[in-house]
Amino acid sequence: MNASPETAGDWDLRGLDADQVYARPELSDDALTAACWATTKFHATFPGWQLYRCIAAGMTVFDNELDAWVIGGARLLARARKTKTGRRYIEARGPWIDQAARDALASVVTGYRINTAERARVCQVEPRTYLKIYRPMLAAMVIGLETYRSELHSDYRKVKFQTFDSGDNLVREARDFARIVDFQSGNHVSPHSPNSDNLHAPAMPDVLK
């Protein structure tokens, strides 16, 4: 079965590295469709696509947007109050909050952890105070990014399966095969009613055992 150049370049049945697909400067319609599907599954304020594209393709076009998001999130966290005591999450104020947020973003994008103790010293705050912003922001982005990436890869497979080699009726053939084989039990499914004169099931082919 011969695949089209676009199909062969983007995806094959042996495996998919969607990160390579999204590392390209220009994206195919299938890649953009999957990105739209994945993005709708997340809160509108979460820049999953921007963060993923920044890392996968090394793009800087989203820098200001990501910077604004991470700083906004850090400031909200800093102003939050504890449910039981009503005390602020962090009493200390100052530009170090923005810096800790940017450091967390840089760590996610570059993959390198900064020296938090040294950074806290430069920011003139206690290391444990600095970590109250840095660590939650880092965790939120890492978890969000990996979740988005998983959804994006899944949706990309779905898009490619819908369009892959449609001339060979791949989807129809798969459905026909599914009618013959019971995937859950691995048993052969008889396409006709049993013969009343012979209620013994036919021998199962070795390949299906």
Indicate the domain borders of the chain: 5-165, 170-208
Which stretch of 15-19, 25-29, 43-47, 178-182 has the lowest confidence by average pLDDT?
Answer: 178-182
118 vs 130: CA distance, rounded Å: 10
Instruction: Between 43 and 189, name the one with better pLDDT.
Output: 43
Which stretch of 2-11, 39-48, 138-147, 178-187 has the lowest confidence by average pLDDT?
Answer: 2-11
Q: Which alpha helices (H) appear in the chain, and where do they start and end?
A: 5-10, 18-21, 29-39, 48-57, 63-79, 96-110, 116-123, 127-163, 170-180
Q: What is the rounded average pLDDT for all residues in the chain?
A: 79
What was the pLDDT predicted at 91? 81
Q: How confident is the model at residue 2 (pLDDT cuts 50, 70, 90)?
A: very low
For the residues 100-129, what does the mean pLDDT come to?
Answer: 94
For the residues 126-132, what does the mean pLDDT come to?
Answer: 95
What was the pLDDT predicted at 15? 44
